[in-house]
Every structure is written in C-alpha cells, then in structure tokens.
Homo-oligomer: A and B are copies of this chain.
Amino acid sequence: RSHSIAVLPGDGVGPEVTSAALAVLDAAQERHGFTTTRTDVPLGAEHYLATGELLEDEAVEQLRGHDAILFGAIGSPAVAPGILERGIILALRGAMRQAINLRPVRLYPGVPTPISGLTPERCDLVIVRENTEGAYVAQGSTVHRGTPAQVAVQESVNTWYAVERAVDFAFRLASERRGRLTLCHKTNVLVEAGRLWTAVMEEVGSRFPDVETDYVHVDAMCMHLPVSPERFDVVVTDNLFGDIVTDLGAVLQGGLGVAASGNLNLDGAAPSMFEPIHGSAPDIAGRGWANPAGACLSLAMMLGHLGEGEAAAAVESATAAVLGELPALAGAGMGASTQELGDRVAALVREG
C-alpha cells in the first residue's frame, strides 16, 4: 500500500513538529508495511513574503492530487494578522471542501490537566465543527468607515447543505461511539441560524433513532465542558463556536500542544488535511520546545483516514505513552526537545 502525502510544514514551530511527526511516520511505515510518497509544499509566511503568493490555483491543483495533507502551522509576526490564516488555512479548508473539522478531546493517562480531579475516563469526547461557513465566510459590509457613524455588519451564512453534512457526520460518529450527540449553539439569540441547525438536527436525527440528542448553549458549554466533560460523547457545532470550544477542550487535554484535528473532505474529490490545533508559536520557534504530540496525534488521525488503522492505533498509543512520561521527564519545559520526543514516539512504534 502506498499513499501520497503533501507535507505543509508552514511557519514557526510548524516545521519542527512536522519533522518529529515524519520520523514517527517512517517508523509506522517500517513496522506496518506500507509506503508513502511525500511532497513538500512550501506555503507560509516565507513563501508569501518572497513571492506575494498565498494559495495559488497551481498549489491547489498540486495538493488535490494527494491522498492526504499533513499540515504544521501557519502564521508569522512579519505578516499582518489574518492574511496567512485566511489566505492559506481557511482557503485550503474551502478549496479542498473540508466539510468537517474533527477535534477529539481526550485526556490520556498520566497527562497533567489543569482541571482538578479530571480523569481520562471522564474526558473522551469528539467535537465536530462545521468547517466551511458560518461566520467563517468572513463577509460583511462597513459604512461610514472612519467616522463616528461607522457601522460594520458581519454575516454568518448557514446553508442546509453544509449543516446537514456536518450533522449527518456527527450522528454517524455518535452511533459508532456512545450514542449521544449534543448540539452546541446559541439558538435563543441567533434565531435564524439557530432554527436551521435545530431543524437539521431533527430531520437527520429521525434517521438515527438510537442516538440520544441533547442541546447546550455555547455559553453553558464553556461552563459544563471543564467540569463535566463526561456529559458529552459527540458535540456538533458551527464553525465559530467550534473554534472557541475546541480550544477550551484542548485545555482539558493538557494544552494546545496535545490537541489534534482533521479537516475532513467527505466527497472524495480532494484530500483531507491533518493539523495540530496549536499555531506557529513564533515566540518559541527554533528552540525545540514545541510539543510534537499534537502533530503526532494528527498523523494518527491521518493514518486512520488512509485506512492504516493499525498504524493509526500504534501512533496514538505511542504518543500517549510518551505524553504520560513527560511530567516525570520535565525539568525546564518538557525535559526533551521536539525531535527527541518524536524519536521516542517513533521508537515505541517500531518496537510495536
């Protein structure tokens, strides 16, 4: 079996964690008997500053030919905020029709969490974030700019098409897990969008009679998630609320360094993309201080997506094992460099 992977290391700590993850991929290939071809795609701040290019049609075509995209991180203090995020990350999610942003919130044994008394048994949920629209259409209008009469209208666009796709995915996932799906929204205030989400939940739900459904306002979610994550199995939510609650989810898991995500294309016409939830973290770039766990767990998600289920499970459990050792190792910071930790995960994968 061979898989073609586009590798997009990006900026800041992106290349560091990606390089650690690739060492793990090498090990997984050896141990589990598959191969990959890898194309490095140099998108990011450096490329943008040198060429003025964000995501050109050519790059889209090139990426589209791959089975999956392994993504590091994008963002740089040298570029105005938002340019690279919208121009590359969000543009990729759109161009590749990555309908779903899948974000597991799982606390692995031995990983220190800031929530007192939280145990791994109580923290195992998945957040399904709609990944193509809502407020992320980034559309709106401004009148009277620069005057005291200025008004900015920001729009959130919600289509039945995209919401149903996300909700259907979430129901399927819930029916393979503990059979519980929670809609997270703010239907009491966002009435138009709220009615659509609620109607879709009902319609799709009628096809999944065995999945129990529930509704939690996004504000209440921020209250419940830290103290009773065991209430949740699968949570489905819109793009903006998903952005917000998954960062909170990452806190439970032990920090952004640990959290993984998959931007899933569901129509097969373009590859899915796997990225750690953390950003480029320019403040610590170049020091080997970044935790490669998020990148390794994203790699595990990618392997699962490519049909390499055994390798996926092996990478996940090796990463969890190394994460569980971190507090013991830790002197200053993690007590080991990004690459050393990647190598340690790779060694465990090789040992099997």
Are A154 and B115 interface neighbours, CB within 8 A?
no
Q: Which residues of B are found within 8 Å of A256, using beta-carbon distances?
A: 223
Tell me the count of chain A residues lying within 8 A, CB to CB, of chain B: 63
Alpha-carbon separation in the docked complex, A85 to B142 (Å): 29
Alpha-carbon separation in the docked complex, A222 to B242 (Å): 12
Are A161 and B148 interface neighbours, CB within 8 A?
yes
Q: Which of A13-21, A132-140, A337-345 touches B?
A: A132-140
Are A142 and B192 interface neighbours, CB within 8 A?
yes
Q: Which residues of B are found within 8 Å of A117, using beta-carbon distances?
A: 114
With A141-B192, A158-B151 known as contacts, the answer to whether A227 contacts B243 (CB < 8 A) is: no
A330 interface contact, C-beta 8 A:
no
Are A160 and B153 interface neighbours, CB within 8 A?
no
Q: Which of A247-255, A288-296, A317-325 touches B?
A: A247-255
Q: Which residues of B are found within 8 Å of A157, using beta-carbon distances?
A: 151-153
Are B151 and A189 interface neighbours, CB within 8 A?
no
- 1/0 per position for A38-79, CB-CB distance to B under 8 A? 000000000000000000000000000000000000000000
Q: Which residues of B are found within 8 Å of A199, using beta-carbon distances?
A: 146, 150
Are A152 and B148 interface neighbours, CB within 8 A?
no
- Contact partner of A81 (CB less than 8 A), chosen from B146, B149, B188, is B188
- Contact partner of A226 (CB less than 8 A), chosen from B135, B219, B226, is B226
Which A148-198 residues have C-beta < 8 A from chain B? 148-161, 164, 186-196
Are B153 and A82 interface neighbours, CB within 8 A?
no
Alpha-carbon separation in the docked complex, A144 to B240 (Å): 24
- 1/0 per position for A91-120, CB-CB distance to B under 8 A? 000000000000000000000001111000
Alpha-carbon separation in the docked complex, A75 to B85 (Å): 40
CB distance from A13 to the nearest CB of B (A): 16
A147 interface contact, C-beta 8 A:
yes
Q: Which residues of B are found within 8 Å of A161, using beta-carbon distances?
A: 148-149
Which A221-249 residues have C-beta < 8 A from chain B? 222-223, 226-227, 240, 243-248
A306 interface contact, C-beta 8 A:
no
Most chain-B Cβ atoms within 10 A of its Cβ — which of A186, A189, A227?
Answer: A189
CB distance from A149 to the nearest CB of B (A): 7
Q: List 24 A-B contacts (CB under 8 A).
A: A114-B117, A114-B226, A115-B115, A136-B189, A140-B156, A140-B191, A141-B192, A147-B160, A148-B160, A150-B199, A152-B193, A152-B195, A153-B156, A154-B156, A154-B190, A156-B156, A186-B240, A186-B243, A218-B243, A220-B247, A223-B250, A226-B251, A244-B244, A248-B248
List chain A positions with a Cβ less than 8 A from chain B: 81-82, 85-86, 90, 114-117, 135-136, 138, 140-142, 144, 146-161, 164, 186-196, 199, 218-220, 222-223, 226-227, 240, 243-248, 250-251, 255-256
